[in-house]
Chain A
Amino acid sequence: MIIGLNHYLAVSAILFGLGLACILVRRDVLLILMGLEMNLNAANLALVAFSRFGRGAEGQVLTLFVIAIAAAEAAVGLAIVVALFRNRHSVNVDDYRTLKG
């Protein structure tokens, strides 16, 4: 068996599915952010695999940007979590229902 592009894409899809499950099933804001990071990681893995088998640097350059954006997103997301916790004393998303009419 030769490990090819499709094997890497399968691993990426499974990782993306796990991140999606983490976002949907867990009710904890921090766990939802962790699921988001797993999704971005799966996308990165697919991009690097395409870069390797598609013979171009574009995928890896795009992955660099994704890592930078993910760092910014994690920082802002965690700041929002801290601000929410200060107001509601809870990190459960079911407790954030102020906007629900």
Chain B
Amino acid sequence: MSVVDTLFIFFSLALVLSGLMVVLSPNAVVSALYLVLVFVFTAGLYILLQAFFLAILQVLVYAGAIMVLFLFVIMLLDLRRPSRWWAGNLPMLAGGALVGLAFGLSVWATLRRTTWPDTPPATLFRGDLAAVVTPLFTRALLPVEITAILLLAATIGVVVLTRREERP
């Protein structure tokens, strides 16, 4: 077993365990911290997939910016009390189990009908910076501009949403 395979198994197991802890933890702060671990281990998998730029971006944007935002809002709303979420919402748990079963069955059925190649392709895509970023300035230029406008709209929307109305 090569180093890459060992790392893949380690990252995958750690990713699934952290994701499980996000769902199960009664404390929102603990959930958020485990979500940081999920993002970091996903970045590890990106590195194994040779997507180095995306791995850096994952750590910077997801584990950095978005999770700081989450933790900031949790502390702002003072939600540090643990919630006994498993108590008293039996309909939700049953519905969740049902949907989970349906999702698992559909994934299983899809996997059954797919024929997988026995060997990986001889040449794999290597995600160096130029290969990933060049399309942003050529073919994907319009989506970049639209994303810019969307981010502007999101910024203005957040300011409007959280503005406190001043009543005379």
Contact = CB atoms under 8 A, between A and B. Distances in A.
Nearest to A14: B16
Interface string A38-55: 100100110011011111
A5 to B, nearest CB: 7
A18 B20 contact: yes
A78 B98 CA distance: 29
Interface of A: 1-8, 11, 13-22, 24-28, 30-31, 33-35, 37-38, 41, 44-45, 48-49, 51-58, 60-61, 63-65, 67-76, 78-83, 85, 91, 94
Chain B interface, >50% SS class: helix
A81 B73 contact: yes
Size band of the B side of the interface? Answer: 35 or more
A83 B103 contact: no
B23 A72 contact: no
A8 B66 contact: no
A60 B129 CA distance: 11
Contacts, number: 211
Interface string B138-149: 001001000100
A13 B23 CA distance: 16
19 contacts: A17-B100, A20-B103, A25-B96, A28-B79, A31-B31, A34-B70, A35-B23, A52-B50, A53-B125, A60-B54, A61-B136, A68-B147, A68-B150, A71-B61, A74-B66, A74-B69, A76-B154, A81-B77, A83-B161
Contacts of A58: 135
Nearest to B106: A13
A61 B135 contact: yes
Contacts of B89: 25, 27, 94
Contact of B120 (A19, A24, A53, A82): A53
Among A15, A25, A41, max chain B CB count under 10 A is at A25
A19 B19 CA distance: 8
B147 A65 contact: yes
B116 A5 contact: yes
